[in-house]
Amino acid sequence: MGYQPTLDGVRAVSVIAVILYHAGFTWLHGGFFGVEVFFVVSGFLITSLLIEERDGSGRVSLWHFWQRRWRRLLPALFTMLIAIGVWAVFWGSAEQHTQLRRDYPWGIFYLANWGQIFSKVAYFSGTPTLFRHLWSLAVEEQWYLLWPVVFIVLFTRKSRGAKRESDRVRGAALAFVSLGLMAATATAYVAKWPRQWPFFLSLNPSQWGMRSVDYTNYLYLSTFTRATGLLLGAATAFLWRPWRVRKKAHANAARTLNTVAFVAVGVLFAAFAVGKVADESTYLWLLPSVTIASAALIAVLVHPVAGAARTVFGARPLVEIGKRSYGLYLWTWPISRIVGAYLGSASKFLLAMVIAIPINEVCYRFVETPIRRGALGRWWRQRQRHNWNLVTACASLSVVAIAASLSVYFAHSDAVFDAAKDRTGNTAVFDPTVITNTTVAIPDSTPLATVPESSVAPPVTTVAPPITAATLPRRVVILGDSTAHSLAVNKPAGIGDTFKITDGAQAGCSVYSDGKAVSSRNGYSRSFGGCSGWQEHWANKAQKGNAEVALIVLGAWDVFDVEVGGTTIVFGTPDADARFMNGLLSGIAALASVGVHSALLEIPCMRPIDVEGAGFPAVPERGDDARVAHLNDLLRQVAATTPGTATFIDGPQEYCTDEELATNVRYRWDGVHPLSSGSKLTFETIANALLSIPIG
């Protein structure tokens, strides 16, 4: 086959698509499909090299294959890991320190995809990490490790028929396996599987066993589901070797090949434009379409008579970018993340490219290329004894110094970073004087009970449950989304005498088990697929905390339009209202089944702002007071229909009436999630109402 510059042209198009996707531009939010194109190219090239080595020498040298891969991949990767790690030590945030502490081992050992699968934060949500992009390199390296072994075992044996015919059978079998995996992945997505997966990637056997996984995260990142492109590329290598054909090409061959290339490019660019990483369509048909189109395009570009297509993809600028595609992929993402060029800003994107491209060029010229061409081997053979001793000593000291300093530094980082935790040093102390005592009239013959005065009248029922006075501290479990967690984790000092609080929040979850919230800002979305079983979670947390009352804190994920099964449910419509109310009612019923009363906290007016580490941008829906007011009306309706098991509680009005306080970052660090001062304000406002809830 020889060197095919057109394949570097394909790599260039792929890496450009990925870089633009990483930049957050909405007009190319399907650019992540460029990774799949890379996979198909890798499967084709590696298998072609193995076939040619087998046909030329009759065997395949596993050691030489791996040595070539290591020289190609490891120098640039380790250079990037060290450089970004050193940057993070001096200028990274506390969250980035925690992320790097977690990501370094997975990245170094090419297991980043599995590290993200078993992470609690999905690939496409949360605050993106500096090494999030290493998952695709891990998939490829795992392929490079296993595929040549499979090739030697299965495809170097002598066959009964002609070798050419035998390879066609092998290629057809691989294509069938690839298509089967595509179908299996689509089926798994529809079935919302898997929810758990065996975990053995730990030196501690006590940590082995089944672990919960997000099925979308698994299907996007796992080696098994993403092997489809690699396998189809390998199948193409067995089936298609036009450079070996000696007979004259058909008169219309060039036209046919160029037409196939044109259609394949059209499919790829359409996928780049419309694809969304968490959409159902991605797994059902878009990803398979991209894989097949990539294989077709590669087949055309390696054919000697495909003149027009080869001219376009063999253009010098594309080829030069393709040669540097590996380094560009390595460097552009962490640098874009550092300068904030991942939210669709053109100016920040240009800044990131101005920094990343020269760095990559230096790495390409002085690290990647020399080592790939055997510079280390030549130096080893030509070294003199005294030079060797000096260089070895210096290199060893450098490696030890870097490794030790990074290890010590990141070892002091939190094992799990909690973005909600107040790190401002605010002193917030609960004021018990806000509690006033009075008697509450019970609407039947039950004797009056002395309980603190309520800012919300107790629900009147035709048959009242037995009433007891609130015993301090009242046991409260806080349930809901990340705002609920912020309220619990930043509770003011001194509140323990009044309330014993258990944190039962689920970040990113509300009262849904399917669908996804969709924002009008740049198409940002949040899938609720990982929130399945939230009702049981609520009941379990309430029981573990021996709670009397569950404080339900919602709203941050309920102000959006929702996509369910390809259909958009618009906020404020009867369908949207019914979805929210029915979900909430099922949660209240789950709590009532374990004897816990639900307190529905009024949703405050939100003033979202873009803050580093927020994990989600400032979206306009959260700042829409009309949407918030509508949700509060629904909460009141739910409380009115379940007076014996749920109560609506008025929250702080200052967030709607006092703009200065509402936008004060010492109260809510991103305009949504409360810090200690905000938590103090809320608890002091609702204390009487919580204590007044009658418990049967």
pLDDT in tens, 541-579: 999 999 999 999 999 999 999 999 879 999 999 999 999
Looking at the predicted structure, is the pLDDT value of residue 466 above 50? no
516 vs 523: CA distance, rounded Å: 11
Compute the residue count for the chain.
696
pLDDT digits (tens, 9 = 90+) for 415-452: 777 778 888 888 899 999 998 854 333 333 333 333 33
Q: Which of 209-213, 635-639, 649-653 has the lowest mean pLDDT?
A: 209-213
Residue with tokens 């065997």: 59
pLDDT of residue 262: 97
Q: Give the tens place of pLDDT for each residue, 645-664.
A: 999 999 999 999 999 999 99
Residues of the chain with pLDDT > 90, as a percent, come to 66
Contact 94, 421 (CB under 8 A): no
> Is 532 within 8 Å of 192 (Cβ atoms)?
yes
Pairwise pLDDT comparison (381 vs 323), residue with the higher score = 323
State the pLDDT at residue 202: 82
123, 214 contact by CB (below 8 A): no
For residue 2, the tally of other CB atoms under 10 A from its CB is 6
- Could you give the CA distance from residue 519 to residue 539 in angstroms, rounded to a whole number? 30
Q: Alpha-carbon distance 320 to 313, whole Å?
A: 11
Highest mean pLDDT: which range of 386-400, 506-520, 577-591? 577-591
Across 73-100, average pLDDT? 89
DSSP state string for 416-455: S--TTS--S----B--GGG--EEEE--SSSSPPEEEE--S
Residue 29 in this model has a pLDDT that exceeds 90: no
pLDDT on residue 456: 37
How far apart are alpha carbons 357 and 313 in whole angstroms?
A: 21
Question: Which tokens go with 198?
Answer: 């065996």
Report how far residue 208's alpha carbon sits from residue 129's, in angstroms, rounded to the nearest whole number.
25
* Residue 74, Cβ density class (10 Å: 0-12 exposed, 13-18 middle, ≥19 buried): middle
Q: Which of 59-73, 117-131, 374-388 has the highest mean pLDDT?
A: 59-73
Cβ–Cβ under 8 Å, residues 502 and 540: no
Q: Is 566 left (phi over 0), alpha (psi -120 to 50) or beta?
A: left
pLDDT, residue 443, reads: 36
Min mean pLDDT across 43-47, 223-227, 371-375 is at 371-375
What domains does the chain contain, in order, with CATH numbers?
5-411 (no CATH), 442-691 (3.40.50.1110)
Q: How confident is the model at residue 162 (pLDDT cuts 50, 70, 90)?
A: low
pLDDT in tens, 6-24: 999 999 999 999 999 999 8
Q: Name the token pair of 662.
A: 């509402």
Q: Cα(594)–Cα(448) distance, rounded to whole angstroms?
A: 26
User: Are 505 and 485 within 8 A, CB to CB?
Assistant: yes
* Spatial distance between the Cα atoms of 686 and 455, rounded to a whole number of angstroms: 8
CA dist 527 and 429 (Å) reads: 37
How much is the average pLDDT of 449-466?
A: 38
pLDDT for the residue 336? 95
Q: Does position 339 have pLDDT exceeding 70, yes or no?
A: yes
Confidence band of 245 (pLDDT split at 50, 70, 90)? confident
Q: Does residue 475 sit in helix, strand or coil?
A: strand
- Burial of residue 99 (CB within 10 Å: 0-12, 13-18, 19+) is buried
Report the pLDDT averaged over residues 504-522: 90
pLDDT value for 2: 87
Q: Cα–Cα distance between 178 and 647 in angstroms, integer? A: 55
